[in-house]
Amino acid sequence: MSSLALATPAAATTTPASTTTPASATTGPSWAVAPADTELASDRSHFDYSLVPGAVIDDSFEITNTGATALTLDVYAADAFTTREGGIDLLPAGTPSTDAGTWITLGLDSLTLQPGESVAVPFRIEVPDHATPGDHPAGIISSVRTDTAGATVQVDRRLGSRVYLRVDGEFAPAVEISDVSVDYSGMWNPVGMGSVTIDYTLTNTGNTRATATSALEVAGPFGIAASTTGEEQLAEVLPGSTIDVEQRLDGVAALLWLSGQVDITPEGVGIGGAPIAAESRSFGVLAVPVIPLAVVVVLALGTILVITGLRRRRATATAAPTPDATIPPTDPTP
């Protein structure tokens, strides 16, 4: 069983990154959610559908009170998105959905469960006739608002199940890199190595879920001392969502100037590995050894101070009055 575990202030307009493991409150209300076993499928971790425009499908969402007291929950559907940190989240209560969250109609909007009781909440998905091809992610949420001791706001504690809904048609996976920045951090050890850190954003500009691998390559002048991170797996990104990516390459020598590039190899999810145009960004960054640079600066300042001191002494000596060599007459001795 897999669920989204969310907890947020009731008045908040966004929610924290969700997890993909079963979750329940450690104190206070405690419950579990999962797709119900139906004629459609059983033992599901989430809801997953492939439908045509205009299709209608009925399914159920199971909620179990695992706590020791009666529990009253709100139940609703909402659009899903990928957080900047790479987690899957659902729009909070009060934020209107504009996509698949509006296609889901629940059989009830609240319920009360006794300890140990389970209820399968029926729902219907109605895909609009004008629905565009591709992925339309959403989720079904169960929510309870609780007062936290000493807090001035209510906490909206939520558990949900993902709904991956794919509309048949022409799939066009695509990603885009933007806001690239690179930094070199040197070592105080003059013979030590530093690190190159690259930050960028990855946006899913296509109509299907997408993931990617990313590799960072760096080299000194004329390609010397080249090194790479190798391929690193990035988070799955839902259509229209953006994630922040940071990659770091350690053991890079301070060779005054480093050049490199980051290579992104994206892939559509669940569409047979459909190819997506690769993305690359080249960069250059200063990499000056810290200790040698500090020594040069100190020597330069010392030289300037010595020269300035000598000039001042010469100027003072030139401006001093010349002693009179004439011996004044003396009075005769009486």
Tell me the pLDDT tens digit for each residue of 224-241: 989 999 999 999 999 999
Q: Is residue 8 located within the same domain as residue 155?
A: yes
pTM: 0.76
Q: How large is the average pLDDT for residues 42-49?
A: 94
- Residue 251 φ/ψ, nearest 5 degrees: 75, 35
Model pLDDT, residue 25: 44
Q: Which amino acid is at 281?
A: R
Residues 184 and 102 in one domain: no
CA distance 77 to 4: 13
Asked if the structure places residue 137 within a domain, the reply is yes
State whether 16 and 84 are in the same domain: yes
Strands (E), the chain: 4-9, 31-35, 47-51, 56-65, 71-82, 88-90, 104-106, 110-113, 118-126, 134-135, 138-147, 154-167, 175-185, 194-204, 210-219, 227-228, 232-233, 242-252, 256-268, 279-287
Q: Which of 68, 65, 49, 66 is nearest to 57 (CA)?
A: 49
The tokens of 106 are what?
């629940």
Q: 83 with 228, same domain?
A: no
pLDDT band at residue 14 under the 50/70/90 scheme: very low
Most confident of 28-37, 182-191, 315-324: 28-37
Positions of E strands within 168-241: 175-185, 194-204, 210-219, 227-228, 232-233
Asked if residue 277 has pLDDT above 70, the reply is yes
* Residues 208 and 137 both lie in one domain: no
Same domain as 10, residue 140: yes
Single out the residue in 122, 150, 167 at which a domain terminates.
Answer: 167
Q: Is residue 284 part of a domain?
A: yes
* 147 plus 214 within the same structural domain: no
Q: Give the pLDDT mean for 59-75.
A: 96
pLDDT in tens, 88-114: 999 988 899 999 999 999 999 999 999
Q: How many C-beta neighbours within 10 Å does residue 299 have?
A: 10
In a domain, 324, yes or no: no
pLDDT exceeds cutoff 90 at 155 = no
What is the domain count for the chain? 2
Same domain, 151 and 189: no
* Within-domain flag for 332: no
Of the ranges 183-192, 219-228, 315-324, which one carries the lowest mean pLDDT score? 315-324
Q: Which of 116, 148, 167 is a domain's end point? A: 167
333 pLDDT tier (thresholds 50, 70, 90): low
Q: For the chain, what is the largest distance between any 2 Cα atoms, rounded to a whole number of angstroms?
A: 146
The strand pair at 227-228 and 210-219 is best described as antiparallel
The stretch 6-34 carries a mean pLDDT of 52
Identify the domain boundary among 138, 167, 196.
167
The answer to whether 43 and 171 have CB atoms below 8 angstroms apart is no
Mean pLDDT of the 148-162 span: 77
Number of other CB atoms surrounding residue 240 within 10 Å: 16
pLDDT confidence bin for 187, thresholds 50/70/90: low
Mean per-residue pLDDT for 237-250?
96
| 9 and 157 inside one domain | yes
Whether residues 59 and 180 share a domain: the answer is no
Range of the domain at 26: 4-167
The verdict on 183 and 154 lying in the same domain is no
Averaged pLDDT, 206-222: 93
In the chain, % helix, strand, coil (3-state, to 5) comes to 10, 45, 45
Phi/psi for 319 (5° steps) reads -80, -10
Least confident of 56-60, 116-120, 297-301: 297-301
241 shares a domain with 97: no
Closest C-alpha among 139, 131, 157 to residue 31: 157
